[in-house]
Amino acid sequence: MEFETRAIHAGQDPEPTTGAVTVPIFATSTYAQSAPGKHAGYEYSRTDNPTRHALAEALASLEGGAGSIVTSSGMAATSLIGWSLKPGDHVVIPDDAYGGTYRFFARVLARHGIEFTAADLTTAAGLQAALRPNTEIVWTETPTNPLLRISDIAVLSEITHEAGAALVVDNTFATPYLQQPLALGADLVVHSTTKYMGGHSDVVGGAIVAADLEVLEGLKFLENATGPVAGPFDAFLVLRGIKTLGVRMDRHSFNALMVARFLAADPRVERVIYPGLPSHPHHELAARQMKGFGGMVSFIPKGGPEKAASVSMNTELFFLAESLGGVESLIEIPSAMTHMSVIGTALEVPADLVRLSVGIEHIDDLISDLDRALGSP
């Protein structure tokens, strides 16, 4: 089956008792057993829940994985992988990582004896220079947040596996509709399902999709032991969201490209960062690796940080807010919002950078909104 069909049907057969075509919200903490230890597949909802199970099956199908687990947030998914490490292990992360990812490795796992190196993962040389004999995980985002750099997943996979490590790809920005990391050699895919997978800014969630069932079982053990599971209503909302993922990502990508072209031609703008523009240094790689270029655009207006802040506070349709991937457009200043945790580090984000999550509104209205907010040159 094609992607759009699997998004609606994988793991989502009609409910057998009533015939309901939508997976029900199984709002139960426990399940009756016919005898001690004998049950119908479920015993306690921290371990598994039918609504969450349906979402896990759907996500595994969309990413082409052996299976998946569904967590209470994107950072919960990141944390589970982190807790699979032991003191003395080493991790490579991008030097343009999401602020929360950096904070977890630098300020949480580092206290438990786990080392990390931030490296330029857009080149093979950058990864090779960062690898150590004790490297267990190479963690990449592509596109990265918020500078939208692109890593060659197949190349990173080959180098990572030669070093005896595992490659983890945060696929939140691209989604499985636009990019298939496991097919390119990744071992694990991570999502904040809060973003495009949910798609409506009404749920917080995360997921891990694994290429190997043995690895997945180890992560399932950690999830059950530590408990960062998604509730059934949250799983239901993400299931609802993925049904329209393909059509939404097509519109997000089209709108973002139109916005990027508008900004790139505007004399009030210093720089535009969007993989769909030929001016992007990794445009050809993105075109080869991705089905589309996604809905995220970053830019630097002329006038410095004060101008960037002014633009962010003067849009009407682009709401000034953290997060991304909803049907509505959002604008933010990463250095003052989502990426404050990297201030003073090698990952520090320019103070005049503006990040857009371009929604699915009419493109003419979005461009008019940005035009007004940019104001006079």
Task: Just list the catalytic residues.
Answer: 46, 98, 170, 195
Closest CA to 215 of 64, 46, 104, 69: 69
Q: What is the DSSP letter of 110?
A: G
User: Residue 270, exposed/middle/buried by CB under 10 A (0-12, 13-18, 19+)?
Assistant: middle
- Residues 271, 274: Cα–Cα separation, whole Å: 10
CA distances from 32 to 35, 41, 99 (A): 9, 11, 43
Per-residue b/e over 97-114, b at no fewer than 16 CB within 10 Å?
A: bbbbbbbbbbeebeeeeb
Contact present, 216 and 67 (Cβ < 8 Å): yes
Strands (E) located in the chain: 67-71, 90-94, 115-119, 135-141, 166-170, 188-191, 206-210, 269-273, 296-301, 319-320, 330-332, 354-357
Q: Return the SS3 of 38.
A: strand
What is the side-by-side order of every strand in the sheet holding 319-320? 269-273, 296-301, 354-357, 330-332, 319-320
- Residues 319, 337: Cα–Cα separation, whole Å: 14
Q: Cis peptide leading into 50, omega within 30 of 0?
A: no
Contact present, 296 and 174 (Cβ < 8 Å): no
CA distances from 38 to 16, 27, 54, 264 (A): 21, 21, 22, 63
Token pair recorded at residue 215: 């690895």
Closest CA to 207 of 170, 244, 178, 241: 170
- Residues 65, 87: Cα–Cα separation, whole Å: 29
* Pairing of β 166-170 and β 188-191: parallel
- Residues 118, 106: Cα–Cα separation, whole Å: 10
